[in-house]
Amino acid sequence: MTKGTLRDMTTIDNGVNVQALLDAREALKGAPEAAQFTWRASSKWQNGVHSTTRVQHFFGLGQEQSHKSEAVFTADHPEVFAAEDNGITPIEYLLVGLASCLTAGVASVAQNRGIQLRSVESTVEGHHDIRGILGADSDVRNGFNDIKVTFTIDADASQEDIEALVAQSQKRSAVFDALTNPTNVSVEVA
C-alpha cells in the first residue's frame, strides 16, 4: 500500500470520519475567517500549588461552540516537591496533550490512507532538569530538555507505512508544533 491510496476506504474503519475532515478542508480553503478557532481554559487557585482548570466553551466556525460537557483538570505537584499531590503537574499535561494529539493524528492519517489499525499505544517521556525552575542554575532551562515518544502500532501495514503514518501525524499535529516551535505568549494582569 502506498501513501494516498484510498482503495480500502470503504472496508477499513478506525472510527475517524475522514470524509467530514476532507470536506471541512475544502470548505475552509475559501473561508479562512471560519477557520479561526479560540480554545479556552479557566483556572482557579485552590491552595498551595493545587489549581483546578475547567474547559468547556470555545470559538470556531464563526460562532461560540461548546463541548458536550465541562471537563475539569486538577493540577498539583507530587509529595517529593513537598506538595499534596491532588493531581498531575502542569508540565505532565503537556505530555497528555502531545500523546493524545499524535495518537489522533495516527488514526486520522491511517483512515485516510486506508490502513486498518488494531492497536496504537505510545509512551511519552519528558526529560526535565528541575534546577531551572528552582533557580539553582540560570543556564538550565525551565522546560523540558527533550521529549521522547515511542509508538507501538499493530496495523495492516508494513513497518515503513507505519513509520510514515507517525511522521505524517507529527507534521499535522497542533501540539507537536506548539512544543517544537516558539509561540508568542502574553500574560497580563486584568
Binding mask 25-44 for other proteins (x = CB under 8 A): --------------------
Is the CB of 4 or the CB of 182 nearer to other proteins? 182
What three-state secondary structure class fits 150? strand
**Largest distance between two CA atoms of the chain:** 58
Of 20, 80, 82, 187, the residue at the interface with other proteins (CB under 8 A) is 187
Pairwise CA distance, residues 20 & 30, whole Å: 16
> What would the DSSP string read from start to end of 9-60?
TTT---S--HHHHHHHHHHHHT-GGGG--EE--EEEEEETTEEEEEEEEEEE
Task: Find the helix or strand (DSSP H, E) in which 69 lies.
Answer: strand 63-75
Binding mask 120-159 for other proteins (x = CB under 8 A): ------------------xx--------------------
Binding mask 79-118 for other proteins (x = CB under 8 A): ----------------------------------------
Pairwise CA distance, residues 31 & 68, whole Å: 26
Of 47, 69, 159, 183, the residue at the interface with other proteins (CB under 8 A) is 183
Interface with other proteins, residue 63, by CB under 8 A:
no
Which residues contact other proteins by CB under 8 A?
138-139, 181-187
